[in-house]
């Protein structure tokens, strides 16, 4: 049905001497929510950060293997990570809005990438991004107020709006709800489901229920290996691997 957006081939990641991720092969579909689950330290966040090359900022980190987005190797020498990150947006575990106004938070990406030629265009991008992040109704009257003054759930939606504003094709989310209360979590999950229509969404989560609720495909990582990858329903009801079964039944992890 949907075409392959991201394709990883024999990805190995090392932190100094530590072999954090071993021979990961995975094909992630477009317009799909793909969840990475697994116990702490299994390498799921590491793999997520490989997809927009955020691992480049960690000095001791080395990545081997190929990751292709739309059949282009993002680790090719000609690829500028800055350009890549505009195409692959990221939302972090802890809401981290800039200590600036809500408007400036969203407008920052479009500004540095030159996506708007004038103020009305920028206003439009900001409004569209905030609408997409389901924050417009709450924020439209207080665009000039600092983004850090919002509640946790609103801050996380602001971060999603900020990521969406650079018109990315892929959205990476690293445990986006782990710092939020259940109500805010439910709002974000609903939002993730809507975002699927326009983006390829990859989400790392600790909560298996969340993975089951929001994703269509699930990848289970364990000790640096990609153990199993398939449709979410199949992973949760009929796991092929013993380790996956142990994890989702709560015996390990």
Partner 1 sequence: MTDIALGRALRLKTSLLDQSSRTRKRNFAEKRFELYGMAAVAFGLLALVVLLTTILGNGLSSFRQTFVTLQIELPQAKLDKSGTGDLEAIKKVSTFGYAPLIDTALEQTMAQLGITIDGLSAKQAAGIISKEAPAKLRDAVIANPALIGTVHEFRLLANGRIDGYYKGAVTMVSATRDANVSPELLILADALKAAGLLATSLNPGFITDSDASDQRPEAAGLGVAILGSLYMMMIVLVLALPIGVAASIYLEEFAPKNRWTDVIEVNISNLAAVPSIVFGILGLAIFINFAGLPQSAPIVGGLVLTLMTLPTIIIATRASLKSVPPSIRDAALGVGASKMQAVFHHVLPLAAPGILTGTIIGLAQALGETAPLLLIGMVAFVKEFPGAPPEGFFDPASALPVQIFNWTQRADPAFVERASGAIIVLLVFLIAMNTVAVLLRRRFERRW
Binding site for partner 1 (CB under 8 A): 52, 54, 57, 59, 82-86, 89-92, 94, 96-99, 108-109, 112-113, 148, 159, 162-163, 165-166
CB of 55 to partner 1, least distance (A): 11
Please, what is the minimum distance in Å from the beta carbon of residue 166 to partner 1? 6
What is the distance between the alpha carbons of residues 210 and 49, in angstroms, rounded to a whole number? 20
Q: Residue 162 or residue 196: which is nearer to partner 1 going by CB?
A: 162
User: Whole-number minimum distance, CB 78 to partner 1, in Å?
Assistant: 16
Closer residue to partner 1 (CB): 175 or 228? 175
* Residue 188 contacts residue 156 (beta carbons within 8 Å): yes
Nearer to partner 1, 54 or 212 (CB): 54
Cβ at position 73, least distance to partner 1 in Å: 19
DSSP bridge partners of 221 = 226
- The least distance separating partner 1 from the CB of residue 90, rounded to whole angstroms, comes to 4
172/174 Cα distance (integer angstroms): 7
Contact 36, 221 (CB under 8 A): yes
Which pair of structure tokens corresponds to residue 157?
Answer: 């939606």
Instruction: Report the alpha-carbon distance of residue 98 to residue 108 in Å, rounded.
Output: 9
In the bound state with partner 1, the residue whose beta carbon lies nearer, of 99 and 233, is 99
The nearer residue to partner 1, 83 or 209, going by C-beta atoms, is: 83
Helix axes 152-165, 119-132, angle to 10 degrees: 130
What are the φ/ψ torsions at residue 89 (nearest 5 degrees)? -80, 160
């Amino acid at each position: 049905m949907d075409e392959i957006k991201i394709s990883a081939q024999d990805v190995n990641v090392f932190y100094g001497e530590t072999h954090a991720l071993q021979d990961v092969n995975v094909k992630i579909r477009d317009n799909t929510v793909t969840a990475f689950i697994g116990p702490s330290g299994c390498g799921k966040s590491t793999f997520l950060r490989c997809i927009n090359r955020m691992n480049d900022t960690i000095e001791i980190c080395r990545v081997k293997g190929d990751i292709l987005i739309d059949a282009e190797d993002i680790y090719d020498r000609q690829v500028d990570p800055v350009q890549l990150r505009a195409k692959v947006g990221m939302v972090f575990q802890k809401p981290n809005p800039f200590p600036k106004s809500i408007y400036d938070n969203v407008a920052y990406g479009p500004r540095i990438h030159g996506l708007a030629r004038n103020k009305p265009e920028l206003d439009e991008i900001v409004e569209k991004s905030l609408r997409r992040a389901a924050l417009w109704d709450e924020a439209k009257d207080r665009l000039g107020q600092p983004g850090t003054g919002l509640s946790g759930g609103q801050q996380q939606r602001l971060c999603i709006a900020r990521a969406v504003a650079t018109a990315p094709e892929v959205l990476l989310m690293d445990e986006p709800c782990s710092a939020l209360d259940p109500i805010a979590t439910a709002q974000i999950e609903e939002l993730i489901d809507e975002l699927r229509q326009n983006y390829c969404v990859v989400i790392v989560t600790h909560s298996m229920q969340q993975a089951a609720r929001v994703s269509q495909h699930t990848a289970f990582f364990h000790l640096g290996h990609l153990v199993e990858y398939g449709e979410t329903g199949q992973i949760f009801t009929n796991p092929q691997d013993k380790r996956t079964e142990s994890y989702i039944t709560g015996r390990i992890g």
